[in-house]
Structure 1
């Protein structure tokens, strides 16, 4: 067995703070008995929640701070006021100083992006970090990035996102050469903005450790056409929120339909097993956790309003990434790619 994985948790982040973070850590500990935690936040509130989880208390260290980043704080303000002493910053610092293998926060996304980049720095050769999401598909799951770290992206950044997403797919899905597609408004090569077409041209020719599929459209994502879908953060975030909203809408339609008549209610009882499987497949909590890629450390962003089940899933993602060496693999891929570009340029 390898060394125990320690994860730093921003206990004050999100809408609920320790009342969700601590029960979530207890759930994650059941699934990963070797895990250890650094719980960062108001010690009195953390200890009050830990009193109900004695096993977790034995596996946890508390780092006290009474400063928390507000959910509506501007990233620049959070970075200026919350640096050095907020629960978010101290959890990131634990990763930077090698006291923890990863950190998880449900706090302010913009603040977390700014602080993570400032504290951990980007991997050499990476222009901007990206946030990746694990997306359910008809086939299995796929990686989609960027889903919110950057409003836009140029062709170089899209190629870097491709390498990041492929490294994550290898780590989490165990595939050596993931298939990758660029999200576009059509599959024809003449369609799309210039940045996407330029990235497409590079990916077609560059000797990368991927299987480049080409352009994919929005309806291809859920069909599992490729293992990794690459786009800019503006488009990716809209796609993510639209998919989550659609899942909730379908769930509401099904519940209403099953209550419409006696026969419908009877049918719902008979099909309980199938509906339970569908609910689990469509439950966004089961895939909670936006993964920051391109940093010298592992950072996972949980939804701010999630419950203990959702936050525990974000901890699971952090644990899997820490156990798989994804940061080291990504750094190697990025270094190799830029070395090849330099050789081709010299030639």
Structure 2
């Protein structure tokens, strides 16, 4: 049984989308049990319309709902202990749920998650990992917006955590990992990226296979299973890809309706267009995973519909079922146990040079 705590007030539509999404997820995974948090006057009427969800849920009334435009510091100050978002995260900390899912304010959710769950040992910064549709299937890209900038050590931590997520989600024994860069040559890129690449080459990790640098066009190709970057570049890449997908859809729609022959051609090719639409449907890959925390938190798109929120719930389900935290903890321990030896040698060499 997988227990999922839900912030029912999160997102643009709150329980009107969250509860129907839970119904879809429950239909596909009957072993899910929900712990739902929200304002009673908004959640209970919707929950009553879905008796199967109601039977598989425990509902807790809360005093506060975090708004989508609240600043993280404001949300943490006013919503700690009383908001649906906080209590859904707290359920994971206290062992009442295995994973928390919210479509709420990203900054507030990250701030509360860090404060409530704390960071994993040896991890300095969290990351948001997104699932990216590719020509080969799906890849994981991180960080897509949790933190701006990252040093070499943090990029390596992201690589380890992203590989752990790929093993949990895609069930790949040794995912391939690439560092996003301006070229594939080893001499290109920022010092932090080149240093991270050297670290990944020199320290063997059983949980991943380092494939070197990748460029922006490699993300859509699916060149590697995990693409690692810092949050500024990752978020721009994500928004650019989403915008391009919408632009192409609009251009195709306009082209198919321009002439009678185009409309007839569309009817013959409708099956192919439907398959492309299904592949590129952002609802199917909804659900960013907060990595680096002592608990699993999933961020759904705020504007997701019921199908999209159900997809986020299923990402959380898979993360727990395939023991995401256990895989990441083991890989991080292996990596950080290897690091002090190299650091000691460098320190000894530097000391010897100074004495000479």
Normalising by the smaller structure, the TM-score range is over 0.9
Q: Distance in 2 between matches of 1:45 and 1:117?
A: 28
Q: Distance in 2 between matches of 1:172 and 1:37?
A: 21
In the other structure, the counterpart of 2:235 is 237
- Asked whether 1:101 is paired with 2:113, we answer no
In the other structure, the counterpart of 1:319 is 317
Larger radius of gyration: 2
In the other structure, the counterpart of 2:351 is none
TM-score (norm 2): 0.95
SS at match of 2:221: coil
Q: Distance in 2 between matches of 1:186 and 1:75?
A: 36
Question: 1:185-334 alignment to 2 at 5 Å?
Answer: 185-209=182-206, 210-334=208-332
* Deviation for aligned residue 1:106: 0.6
SS at match of 1:222: helix
SS at match of 1:160: helix
Question: 1:8-27 alignment to 2 at 5 Å?
Answer: 8-27=5-24
- Asked whether 1:155 is paired with 2:152, we answer yes
* Deviation for aligned residue 1:345: 3.5
In the other structure, the counterpart of 1:77 is 74
CA deviations 1:180-211 (Å, max 9, x no partner) are 10001111122111111111111111111221
Q: Distance in 2 between matches of 1:248 and 1:37?
A: 33
* Deviation for aligned residue 1:294: 1.0
SS at match of 1:181: strand
Q: Distance in 1 between matches of 2:335 and 2:186?
A: 24
SS at match of 1:14: coil
* Deviation for aligned residue 1:86: 0.7
TM-score (norm 1): 0.97
SS at match of 2:210: strand
* Deviation for aligned residue 1:346: 4.3
Q: Distance in 2 between matches of 1:305 and 1:171?
A: 26
Superposed CA RMSD in Å reads 0.9
* Deviation for aligned residue 1:295: 0.8
SS at match of 1:177: coil
SS at match of 1:271: helix
Structure 2 residue ranges without an equivalent (≥5)? 346-356
Q: Distance in 2 between matches of 1:266 and 1:53?
A: 42
Q: Give 1:5's match in structure 2, choosing from 2, 7, 14.
A: 2
* Deviation for aligned residue 1:44: 2.3
CA deviations 1:198-238 (Å, max 9, x no partner) are 11111111111221111100001110111100000010011
In the other structure, the counterpart of 2:334 is 336
Q: Give 2:130's match in structure 1, choosing from 112, 129, 133.
A: 133
Q: Distance in 1 between matches of 2:304 and 2:236?
A: 19
In the other structure, the counterpart of 1:40 is 37
* Deviation for aligned residue 1:66: 2.8
* Deviation for aligned residue 1:257: 0.8
Q: Distance in 1 between matches of 2:203 and 2:212?
A: 13
Q: Distance in 2 between matches of 1:34 and 1:173?
A: 20
